Amino acid sequence: MSEAAPALHRRLRRRGRNAGAGLVGAAIVGLWMFAALAAPLLAPHGEAAIVSNTVFGPMSGRFPLGTDYLGRDVLSLILYGARYTIGLALAATALAAGSGVVLGSLAAASGGTLDAVLSRAMDTLISLPGLMFALVMVAALGSSVPVLIATAAVIYTPGAFRIARSLAVDINAMDFVVVARARGEKTHTIMFEEILPNMVLPVLTDFGLRFVFIVLLLSSLSFLGLGIQPPAADWGSLVRENIQGLGYGAPAVIMPAVAIATLTIGVNLLIDGFAGGRRREFADGH
């Protein structure tokens, strides 16, 4: 009894820390999601409105986050920029994760030649440096929204494929899948009814990680001038446009970087809390 009590106390304390981190992450992510959706309602000024004669202005009552290099309100720019940073990253992540999961499940369920062909194709893609591939694609095809989404999705689909295939191979060897195959179920039926429903939770965790990677990739492209183009702006392009204000400590260059950092930290905290909760449930059930 005396040995069990400290172990229980440590378990409860660890559970509380993980749950707290998850709640903080969910709050941060939820706040930015709301900001992206309600930007036109929340922003005090228009997306491209020049509202001050002072460039790189300091924080004030009228401009809570200062002004940028053209005299635009930084708070409004960040709120509007959230739509591009979060929206494009979500679309690219959904495309990458969806493609990777479907192809990985198909490869594991089919086996044989199809599995080998898909695996080698994904190995070829994953061997290409991600940022270099993105630079070539954007330089060749332009930096339109569809091109940015498709490029990011192609870069991160192989990783999602590997995770999904690894999970699907393990599930494919389980008794209920063997029974379904013995009943004569088709490959697509086994994929969608037996394999995919049993890999949802790990795939959701991987989805969060890929979302963070894609946010950083798209922000890097925007910082290099190859991302979202004016007059629209995401957080990476706001940092690039106002980089001259760094020497003055201008909020216009610092705050977009803070926005990127808080979003990625929030998603990581949410993933840690979610994954920690799943590990605890597994441990408690076994």
Q: What is the pLDDT of residues 195-220, one digit of tens each?
A: 777 887 888 888 988 999 999 999 99
Q: For residues 143 and 3, what is the distance between their CA atoms, to the nearest angstrom?
A: 61
Q: How far is CA 103 from the centre of its chain?
A: 20
37-50 pLDDT tens trace: 999 999 998 888 88
User: Any alpha helices (H) in 111-229, and if so which ranges?
Assistant: 112-126, 130-141, 145-172, 175-182, 187-189, 200-223
Q: For residues 168 and 107, what is the distance between their CA atoms, to the nearest angstrom?
A: 9
What residues contact 115, with CB distance under 8 A and at least 6 apart? 107, 108, 165
Cβ pair 100, 160 in contact under 8 A: yes
DSSP lists the bridge partners of residue 50 as 72
Task: Report pTM.
Answer: 0.83
Segment-wise mean pLDDT, segments of 10 residues, the chain, 286 residues = 48 58 88 92 87 86 88 92 93 94 86 88 89 89 90 93 88 79 77 78 87 92 87 88 81 90 92 62 41
What residues contact 22, with CB distance under 8 A and at least 6 apart? 269, 270, 272, 273, 274, 276, 277
Q: How far is CA 7 from the centre of its chain?
A: 36
Q: For residues 63 and 76, what is the distance between their CA atoms, to the nearest angstrom?
A: 9
Cβ pair 86, 33 in contact under 8 A: yes
Q: Amino acid identity of 197?
A: P
Per-domain residue ranges for the chain?
A: 4-285
Q: How far is CA 125 from the centre of its chain?
A: 20
pLDDT of residue 6: 53
Query: 104: helix, coil or strand?
Result: helix
Cβ pair 227, 221 in contact under 8 A: yes
Q: Amino acid identity of 167?
A: L
Asked if CATH classification 3.10.20.30 holds for the domain at 4-285, the reply, yes or no, is no
